[in-house]
A and B are shown apart, each in its own frame.
Chain A
Amino acid sequence: GDSVTQMEGPVTLSEEAFLTINCTYTATGYPSLFWYVQYPGEGLQLLLKATKADDKGSNKGFEATYRKETTSFHLEKGSVQVSDSAVYFCALSGSNAGNMLTFGGGTRLMVKP
């Protein structure tokens, strides 16, 4: 079945540092890929998505590129802020009935001033 693996956290960075959170996936066919963000005490919000190979999703300074050859969708940001502290989830949606999302385990990011 489909699965998503992302790097374990927590990831602790200083403000303005470069961020990479690795995500790899296993799926049949051509899934759509997503990054969701969860701020403390809140639900998940869609951060960005990509629906086909070589697509780049971007939002709020975050980027991720759909790499089919390496089955990866790594999240990057050039300069993190304290307000980026949250839990980040990589997810995929395949061709299964109901278009269900399969999530990775989440990566907690802590940004220090």
Chain B
Amino acid sequence: NAGVTQTPKFQVLKTGQSMTLQCAQDMNHNSMYWYRQDPGMGLRLIYYSASEGTTDKGEVPNGYNVSRLNKREFSLRLESAAPSQTSVYFCASRGTGGAGYGYTFGSGTRLTVV
């Protein structure tokens, strides 16, 4: 089925550990995004990639890095995890069509940092 695939679905890290969240889409979308979801705060944009080869910071980029490996894949890396990064992370992609074109979201990665 076409869509956005995220791995892993769940992860527990110790403070200071590093990890990479993987995201891949098979819809030939140009734009990809990483959001975090925290209770009562909706989704906040961490980083985005408007096209292959470009990445830009969103609202809450501190503590994260990203790589747009190719048109399909967009990974999010935590170099030194902190408890404040405990959250649910969503990857999304979007095709061309301007501001009215909706996003397709992955099913999320639930990350706990202890």
- Which residue numbers of A lie inside 8 Å of B, CB to CB? 4, 8, 31-32, 34, 36, 42-46, 49, 51, 89, 93-95, 97-101, 103-106
Binary per-residue interface labels of chain B (50-72) against chain A in the complex, 1 for a CB within 8 Å, 0 otherwise? 10000010100000000000000
- Evaluate whether A43 and B50 lie within 8 angstroms (CB atoms) in the complex, with A31-B99, A32-B100, A105-B41 already known: no
Q: Which residues of B contact A (CB under 8 A)?
A: 4, 31, 33, 40-45, 48, 50, 56, 58, 90, 92, 94, 98-108
Residues of A within 8 A of B42 (CB): 4, 89, 103-106
A99 and B99 contact, CB distance less than 8 A: yes
In the bound complex, do residue A98 and residue B103 qualify as a contact, i.e. CB atoms below 8 Å apart?
no
Q: In the docked arrangement, what's the CA distance between A101 and B106, Å?
A: 15
Q: Which residues of B sit under 8 angstroms from A104, Cβ to Cβ?
A: 42
Q: A93-B99, A98-B56 are in contact. Are A103 and B43 (CB under 8 A)?
A: yes
